Structure 1
Amino acid sequence: MNRGRPIIQKNMNFEQALQHKIDSRTKPIGSLGKLEDIAFKIGTVQRSLTPELHKPTILVFAADHGIADEGVSASPKEVTYQMVMNFVHGGAGINVFSRQHGIALKVIDAGVDYDFPEGLGIINAKIARGTHNMLHEPAMSTETCRKAMDKGAEFVRKEHENGCNVIGFGEMGIANTSPASLLLHKFAGTPIEECVGKGSGLDEAGVRHKYEILKRIAAKYTPVTPLETLATFGGLEIAMMCGAVLEAKRLNMIILADGFIATSAFLAAYEMQPDILDNTLFSHSSDERGHKQMLDYLHGDPILHLNLRLGEGTGVALAYPIIRSALIFLNEMSSFEEAAVYDMEKKNRPQA
């Protein structure tokens, strides 16, 4: 229940009024830490002193990758479709956390090298049966990449039309830490050796092999535009997420970023349209090597630090209740005046 309209001085602009409301709850200024930052950001996006979240949704995009043929993942390519089946049967990490927190989950086949039976609840948006092997040719043409981005945007529009105003993204695709690493290297200029991690569980020798393969790929191509870079090194699921992020920004939704692979899509979207960050909350800092560099480049302040590296959108699902708590305190906590509590910091607040 909202506790009435806040008492706002007439000479305040919106941002000052929102900060005044945050500061005037019955707590010392800043004592709710990052919750206060989250409340301010969402309130600013919605231009509301009583911001709300409606119909939270996570879109999970799945696709295969030609680079998997080079042994850059500890898991065989078949795990992509097997995990998608696990998603639709409700048994994966993203399923249990989404159920726990009341988040709608949609599973989208962006480019899995498998023909799923009908009637399973998998949304068929297959652009191709995976990307090409980047060691020999670009992952996608720019036309294919743009088509994937447009599909991602279409899914976001549908959710928005259904009343959703907060959306997060997850992914599934064996070997997709390789395109994410290359996108980090090309967009942020991070040395390739600092971008390459163990993915689904490579040992030291496997990581060294992966590094050598990705180093060769990085030296092979010199794309110019962000779209060309995404097409050359990305994945179909990453391209769909990129398009989805751009559309969510256009619709002024709250956008939730997950871990390493998902953030690579935000990285591409940022290179195309930097103001996506105005609407973005970074759910967590992944344990996958390279994610911290991504967050630093994007000036992202992750909500959670849990050493996660599962992907799927699990960080988004885990961070969501904290994001909700930020709005609950803003909308439901009493002010000092309402609660008749002495405000020792009143002198620090803007005066009329």
Structure 2
Amino acid sequence: MSQLLAKTIAAIKPLDKTAMEKAATRQDILTKPQGALGRLEEISIRLAGIQGKAIPVIKTKAVITMAGDHGVVAEKVGNYPQEVTPQMVLNFVRGGAAINVIARQIGARVVVVNMGVAGDLPADIRVVDKRVARGTGNIARGPAMTEAQAIQSIEAGIEVVNAEIDKGLDIVGTGDMGIGNTTPSAAICAVMSGQSVDKVTGRGTGLSDEQLQHKIKVIEKAIAVNKPDAKNGIDVLSKIGGFEIGGIAGVILGAAARGVPVVVDGFISGAGALIAEALAPQAREYMFLGHLSVEPGHRIMADKLGLKPIVTLDLRLGEGTGAAFGIFIAETSARILAEMATFGEAGVSEKAE
């Protein structure tokens, strides 16, 4: 394991229990019945533990959208050509994608990262260039990448989130773009959860029944060909993963090491979260699950990570859209804890005589 990755993992500490206790105590004296705000209370208390502050603060927000291509598209596992990946990257940069719209509404910046787009991008666009290679290998025929490339992709994510934290960042969401990326994500889910491929594989961009069965067979072949070790996150990523999945894992690890909460998006981000958790189980405490995707494997990922979705909106877009909604609700929970009056401040009787 390289120095940056090892140092980052070592820096991930348990949550601040004292801050969490103080946050819980304040929640119980706000002008409401105890527990009346449900999971908003739970989220604010965990935010306190992550930030090490009795009253957490969320002002500066970002969604980091990782883009990469996949050699497995040669197996015809989807309905869109690989050319869509660089086209959508340009759409992100121009502000025309769904994530841009939602991010503007919640006041978050969108950081677009080229982790391994196969096509060419203009040299002057606002994209962070961390390209490991021009797309991964075809996992149905061999490994997605080398072990060195897997580590490089994770460290790229760490470097990106560290740069954003240095600019000012209270919470970060993960996002993705990459034609064919539900295939490696399903493979990672199956291997790391121990579930069968048919249980974790969904229709992605809208596959027919026949196409879905073909996709399942391709994933089963990829696992059989590569034989990834479920207990070794680097091995799983290198054999059946993607550069953007590694980048997402790096964002999670890097944020956790710096005490920044991470809102995980959908199925592809979930694959990155599984890799991150395999490398540093403590990182799970820094994760929130923004939403529950309609991809069947996403619930299995959530259960494996022990995370409950903040919202369920039947999303299956990626980009960081579900993470953005989660960021909004996390900020709301922090503001309630900070700004809502206590019984004493409001002059309201706390309990009936």
TM-score grouping bracket, smaller chain normalisation: over 0.9
Looking at structure 1, the residues matched to 352 and 22 of structure 2 have their Cα atoms a distance apart, in angstroms, of 17
Asked if 1:282 corresponds to 2:289, the answer is yes
Residue 223 of structure 1 deviates from its aligned partner by 2.7
Looking at structure 2, the residues matched to 58 and 138 of structure 1 have their Cα atoms a distance apart, in angstroms, of 29
Q: Name the Cα RMSD after superposition.
A: 1.4
1:15–1:92: structure 2 CA closer, same or farther, 3 Å change rule?
closer
> Conserved in 2, the CA contact under 8 Å of 1:185 and 1:192?
yes
| TM-score, L = length of structure 1 | 0.92
Asked if 1:132 corresponds to 2:134, the answer is no
Which amino acid in structure 2 is aligned with residue 335 of structure 1?
T
2:102 counterpart (97, 122, 129)? 97
2:246 counterpart (239, 242, 249)? 239
Residue 13 of structure 1 deviates from its aligned partner by 5.1
Residue 302 of structure 1 deviates from its aligned partner by 0.7
1:345–1:171: structure 2 CA closer, same or farther, 3 Å change rule?
farther
Looking at structure 1, the residues matched to 106 and 82 of structure 2 have their Cα atoms a distance apart, in angstroms, of 31
> Conserved in 1, the CA contact under 8 Å of 2:142 and 2:225?
no
Residue 137 of structure 1 deviates from its aligned partner by 1.1
Residue 165 of structure 1 deviates from its aligned partner by 2.5
Asked if 1:49 corresponds to 2:54, the answer is yes
Residue 211 of structure 1 deviates from its aligned partner by 0.6
Q: Write the deviation string for residues 10-62 of structure 1: whole angstroms up to 9, x where unpaired.
A: xx954433211011100001110110011110011122222101421111110
- 1:166 aligned partner: 171
Looking at structure 1, the residues matched to 326 and 22 of structure 2 have their Cα atoms a distance apart, in angstroms, of 27
1:30–1:84: structure 2 CA closer, same or farther, 3 Å change rule?
same
1:142 counterpart (143, 147, 169)? 147
Q: Give the 5 Å matches for 1:304-323.
A: 304-323=311-330
Higher Cα radius of gyration = 1
Q: Give the 5 Å matches for 1:16-95.
A: 16-95=21-100
- 1:7 aligned partner: none
1:66–1:13: structure 2 CA closer, same or farther, 3 Å change rule?
closer
> Conserved in 1, the CA contact under 8 Å of 2:233 and 2:275?
yes
Asked if 1:227 corresponds to 2:234, the answer is yes
Q: Write the deviation string for residues 178-221 of structure 1: whole angstroms up to 9, x where unpaired.
A: 11001111111111111110111111111111011111111222
1:321–1:68: structure 2 CA closer, same or farther, 3 Å change rule?
same
Structure 2 unmatched ranges of 5 or more: 1-16
Looking at structure 2, the residues matched to 215 and 272 of structure 1 have their Cα atoms a distance apart, in angstroms, of 24
> Conserved in 1, the CA contact under 8 Å of 2:67 and 2:177?
yes
Which amino acid in structure 2 is aligned with residue 127 of structure 1?
V
Looking at structure 1, the residues matched to 77 and 346 of structure 2 have their Cα atoms a distance apart, in angstroms, of 60
Residue 339 of structure 1 deviates from its aligned partner by 1.0
- 1:250 aligned partner: 257
Looking at structure 2, the residues matched to 13 and 269 of structure 1 have their Cα atoms a distance apart, in angstroms, of 26
Looking at structure 1, the residues matched to 91 and 53 of structure 2 have their Cα atoms a distance apart, in angstroms, of 40
- 2:194 aligned partner: 189
Aligned-residue sequence identity (percent) comes to 34
- Residue correspondences, number: 335
- 1:119 aligned partner: 124
Residue 319 of structure 1 deviates from its aligned partner by 2.2
| TM-score, L = length of structure 2 | 0.92
1:221–1:16: structure 2 CA closer, same or farther, 3 Å change rule?
same
Q: Secondary structure at the match of 1:283?
A: strand
Q: Write the deviation string for residues 248-301 of structure 1: whole angstroms up to 9, x where unpaired.
A: 111111111000001110011001111111111111011112100000111111
Looking at structure 2, the residues matched to 24 and 161 of structure 1 have their Cα atoms a distance apart, in angstroms, of 35
Q: Secondary structure at the match of 1:303?
A: strand
> Conserved in 1, the CA contact under 8 Å of 2:71 and 2:138?
yes
